[in-house]
Amino acid sequence: MTQTVSQAVAQRDNSPSGLIKQYSESFAQVLPSHVKAATWVRLAQGALKRGKRIETQGDPNHGRFELEVAAANNPGTFLAALLDAARQGLEPGTEQYYLTPRKVKGQLEILGITGYQGHIELMYRAGAVASVVAEVVRENDEYRYQRGIDEVPIHRFKPFAREKERGKLVGVYAYARMKDGAVSRVVELNQDDIDRIKASSQGANSEYSPWVKFPVQMWLKSAVRQLQKWVPTSAEFRMELARAAAEAHRVATAPEAPAGSDTPQGDVLEGEVLDAAPADPDSTDAAGSYGGDDWPDGTQPTA
């Protein structure tokens, strides 16, 4: 029996979990090579079953999880958040990448937010960082740091002290120790800094916002995001590693200069001088621009 298009669509699982499965190949294409796509998809599906259930009697979504309802209300926004997490290689629904509900025009939708653990993971992945320290400071803590004098902050408080003993949040700091032993810039943020960052955050005062539910984690995230400006990015560090490795290989394989010669033999190249070749339309020129019209719409690179 021939199946109509409408019947096929009706049988398709368009639930949030089903959508994740339908677009699993798209997620796999953007995930970093070290992340297993099948595992990531299962984590994304499991994230929908976390959090708060809707317990309001008479509500058509009674018994369902808020994240499931939010994802179903706006599948496009939901899938865009997952694609953002996949592109960064972060686990959705964890402190690496939050999936939080938010109200838009009276109904729940998904908001994806990179968490502080996600920013730390991206720094480690670059390869230059040995460790990252990020801590909140409370009003009764002992804290001292003088830029240009102290290498890192001195931060002490009573072991196992409860939050009430330590007092309210007054600041946060973060720094990285590099693999060569150097210490990055120490980032310090006070209450005013946090207030400015929070004010620019979408839906920060919503009951569902991580600023309301997880304030400590959001203070830490704010400091770690600023720290990222002071450590090598993945692209920068890998390019420098490749350059250093190529130079080391060149030096190691260069033949020794003949006795009495002032110029190392390895630096002398013999060749024929040719006229300038015509520009290759599929290669970059000296300015980094691209030729050719083979790029699909919307993906044409810019100089």
Q: What is the pLDDT of residue 259?
A: 55
Helix (H) or strand (E) holding 135: strand 129-138
When pLDDT is cut at 50, 70 and 90, the band that residue 254 belongs to is: low
Give the list of residues 6+ apart from residue 58 with CB closer than 8 angstroms, or none: none
Distances in Å between the Cα of 238 and the Cα atoms of 98, 119, 224, 242, 265 are 28, 18, 21, 6, 30
Q: What is the pLDDT of residue 272?
A: 45
DSSP 138: E
Cα separation, 213 vs 207, in Å, equals 8
Q: 114 φ, ψ to 5°?
A: -70, 125
Q: What is the pLDDT of residue 250?
A: 72
142-144 and 154-156 as β-strands: parallel, antiparallel, unpaired? antiparallel
Mean pLDDT of the chain: 80
Tokens of 28: 């796999």
When pLDDT is cut at 50, 70 and 90, the band that residue 274 belongs to is: very low
Give, to the nearest 10 degrees, the angle between helix 75-88 and helix 66-73: 110
pLDDT above 90 covers a percentage of the chain that reads: 54
**Residue with token string 């310090």:** 188
pLDDT beyond 80 at 273: no
Among 11-25, 107-121, 198-212, 269-283, which is the least confidently predicted range?
A: 269-283
pLDDT digits (tens, 9 = 90+) for 84-96: 999 999 999 999 9
pLDDT above 70 covers a percentage of the chain that reads: 72
Q: What is the pLDDT of residue 14?
A: 83
**Residue with token string 């408080």:** 157
Comparing C-alpha atoms, which of 155, 162, 157 is closest to residue 140?
157
Cα separation, 205 vs 189, in Å, equals 20
Cα separation, 285 vs 95, in Å, equals 43
Q: What is the pLDDT of residue 3?
A: 55
Single pTM value for the model: 0.69
Tokens of 220: 């830490």
Cα separation, 61 vs 124, in Å, equals 41
pLDDT digits (tens, 9 = 90+) for 121-161: 999 988 889 999 999 999 999 999 999 999 999 999 999 99
Task: Report yes or no: 128 and 232 within 8 Å, Cβ to Cβ.
Answer: yes
Measured from the Cβ of residue 37, the count of other Cβ atoms closer than 10 Å reads 15
**Residue with token string 């694609």:** 83
Q: What is the mean pLDDT of residues 37-63?
A: 84
pLDDT digits (tens, 9 = 90+) for 179-226: 999 999 999 999 999 999 999 987 788 888 889 889 999 999 999 999
